[in-house]
């Protein structure tokens, strides 16, 4: 599983409001973020990744509205799940001032990202709920019909055992 199969690095940075100079593609491609995202998906369903990969292999023009909604929900959830993980170190990624002459770097004394962190966490919760609903809707459409087995039945004998007729 690769992170870019579910979201893009640019979207993760956009969710956090940082640039590619502050969080590089090399940083976002670390297995740490991929494993965390896989864990998040497995908390929803152990088969979500496999089911989504099967859907992705089909022609997008043949997707139903429910399948399209699952695709969008996976994309948005993946973006905000990784962004949420990055919020812990967000103040370290961006500098208040970057000097040119003596290569100085000044960081914020206090966290100016409180609002950003709150909004990322709210978006994470929202898109997690939407992903669960979309995945359940797809499962309901693709689940085989339930077979009802009958263990009791009534049989009328050909002759009456009491009267013998």
The structural domains of the chain, with segments of one domain joined by +, span 3-142
Give yes or no for residue 143 having a pLDDT over 70.
no
Q: What is the pLDDT of residues 48-68, one digit of tens each?
A: 999 999 888 988 888 889 999
Residue 67's pLDDT is 92
Low-confidence winner among 61-70, 133-142, 148-157 (lowest mean pLDDT): 148-157
Residues 6+ apart with CB under 8 A from 95: 22, 105, 106, 107
Angle, helix 65-86 to helix 48-57, in steps of 10 degrees: 130
Burial of 28 (0-12, 13-18, 19+ CB in 10 A): buried
* Closest C-alpha to 77, from 40, 43, 25: 40
Query: Can you list the pairs that 51-60 forms with residues at least 24 positions away whose Cβ atoms lie under 8 Å?
Result: 51/135, 51/138, 51/139, 53/5, 55/138, 56/5
pTM of the predicted structure, to 2 decimals: 0.77
Measure the CA–CA gap between 21 and 83, rounded to whole angstroms: 16
Q: What is the pLDDT of residues 70-113, one digit of tens each?
A: 999 999 999 999 999 999 887 776 655 556 666 666 555 556 77
Measure the CA–CA gap between 139 and 67, rounded to whole angstroms: 10
Measure the CA–CA gap between 3 and 139, rounded to whole angstroms: 23
Using a pLDDT cut of 90, give the percent of the chain over it: 52
* Closest C-alpha to 77, from 120, 31, 118: 120
Give yes or no for residue 139 having a pLDDT over 80.
yes
Mean pLDDT across 117-134: 95
């Amino acid at each position: 599983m690769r992170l870019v199969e579910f979201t893009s690095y640019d979207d993760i940075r956009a969710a956090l409001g940082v640039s590619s100079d502050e969080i590089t593609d090399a940083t976002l491609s670390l297995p740490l973020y991929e494993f965390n995202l896989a864990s998040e998906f497995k908390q929803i369903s152990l088969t979500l990744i496999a089911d989504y990969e099967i859907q992705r292999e089909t022609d997008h023009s043949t997707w139903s509205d429910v399948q399209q909604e699952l695709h969008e929900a996976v994309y948005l959830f993946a973006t905000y799940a990784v962004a949420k993980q990055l919020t812990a170190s967000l103040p370290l990624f961006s500098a208040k001032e970057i000097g040119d002459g003596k290569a100085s770097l000044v960081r914020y004394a206090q966290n100016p990202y409180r609002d950003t962190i709150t909004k990322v966490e709210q978006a994470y919760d929202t898109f997690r709920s939407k992903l669960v609903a979309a995945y359940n809707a797809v499962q309901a459409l693709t689940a085989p019909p339930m077979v009802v087995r009958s263990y009791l039945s009534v049989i009328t004998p050909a002759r009456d055992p009491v009267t013998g007729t």
